[in-house]
């Protein structure tokens, strides 16, 4: 992961999405679902979920939307959802992973396949691109919010808590963990007083690709269309 900053990609997507209120709610619904699925729907016992719920309330996300995401994760209401990951290639050969939660696989796969076709991509088979990503826990601390923190202090705290890697960027400290250790490390650092701007288990591209502005525009259009699909939880690519 040396030299690669997930934060830059997060900020780039945020800047594009913030113009659309629906996009903000969709991202929050995804984060609520993932956090509740991983650690349960009790915010007193699930620090990740508590963080996302606070963000959702700050963004004025309706209570019904929040509850719907939690119900979807717990299976409340009698609906049965399956989590399916689709793999494919976008413009310039960029690998794309699409995580979904669906009650109708036929509907979802048809929609995902059409989105790839719309922008010159193609849906692949299971395992065709997943090997290009690593699943990691990710924690980001905004340096502007905590100017008193220095690199050595954060590094020591994170490694003692069990983190795998810490990267220092101009605007943020990035902490990477093994997926199974994420909840424990987040809780340990949270109890030590650290506050996170981002906290999630995510997919990290092993070898990010630099692509042209023209190809990037097409890729962004593909990602936007995929993210507008209500069955889609998250989209990951190998584009840097």
Res 36 pLDDT > 90: no
Q: Which long-range contacts (CB under 8 A, 24 or more apart) does 158-164 make?
A: 158/185, 158/189, 161/185, 161/188, 161/189, 161/192, 162/188, 163/139, 164/136
pTM: 0.76
Res 5 pLDDT > 90: no
Question: Sorting pLDDT into bands at 50, 70 and 90, what band is 2?
Answer: very low
> What mean pLDDT comes out for the span 83-100?
95
pLDDT for the residue 11:
59
Helix axes 6-17, 213-227, angle to 10 degrees: 70
- In whole angstroms, give the CA distance from residue 111 to residue 225: 10
Res 55 pLDDT > 90: no
- In whole angstroms, give the CA distance from residue 116 to residue 131: 20
- In whole angstroms, give the CA distance from residue 206 to residue 220: 20
Handedness of CA 34, 37, 39, 43 (dihedral sign): positive
pLDDT for the residue 82:
84
pLDDT in tens, 165-223: 999 988 999 999 999 999 899 999 999 999 998 888 899 999 999 999 999 999 999 99
Report the candidate in 147, 142, 175, 139 with the shortest Cα–Cα distance to residue 159.
175
User: What is the fold of 132-205?
Assistant: Alpha-Beta Plaits (3.30.70)
Domain 6-78: CATH architecture, name and number where available: Orthogonal Bundle (1.10)
User: Is CATH 3.30.70.980 correct for 87-128+209-237?
Assistant: yes
Annotated domain spans of the chain: 6-78, 87-128+209-237, 132-205
Identical fold for domains 6-78 and 87-128+209-237, yes or no, is: no
């Amino acid at each position: 992961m040396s030299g690669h900053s997930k934060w830059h990609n997060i900020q780039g997507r945020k800047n594009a999405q913030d113009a659309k209120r629906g996009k903000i709610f969709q991202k929050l619904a995804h984060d609520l679902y993932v956090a509740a699925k991983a650690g349960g729907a009790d915010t007193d016992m699930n620090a990740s979920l508590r963080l996302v719920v606070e963000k959702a309330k700050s963004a004025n996300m309706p209570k019904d939307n929040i509850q719907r995401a939690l119900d979807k994760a717990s299976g409340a209401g009698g609906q049965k959802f399956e989590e399916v990951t689709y793999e494919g290639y976008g413009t310039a050969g960029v690998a794309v992973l699409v995580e979904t939660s669906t009650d109708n696989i036929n509907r979802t796969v048809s929609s995902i396949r059409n989105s790839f076709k719309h922008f010159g991509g193609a849906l692949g088979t299971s395992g065709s691109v997943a090997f290009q990503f690593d699943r990691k826990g990710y924690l980001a601390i905004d340096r502007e919010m905590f100017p008193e923190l220095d690199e050595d202090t954060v590094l020591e705290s994170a490694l003692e808590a069990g983190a795998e890697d810490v990267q220092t960027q101009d605007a943020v400290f990035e902490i990477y963990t093994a997926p199974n250790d994420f909840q424990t490390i987040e809780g340990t650092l949270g109890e030590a007083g650290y506050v996170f701007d981002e906290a999630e288990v995510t997919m990290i591209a092993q070898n990010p690709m630099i692509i042209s502005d023209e190809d990037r525009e097409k890729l962004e259009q593909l990602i936007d269309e995929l993210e507008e699909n209500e069955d889609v939880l998250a989209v990951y690519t190998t584009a840097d």
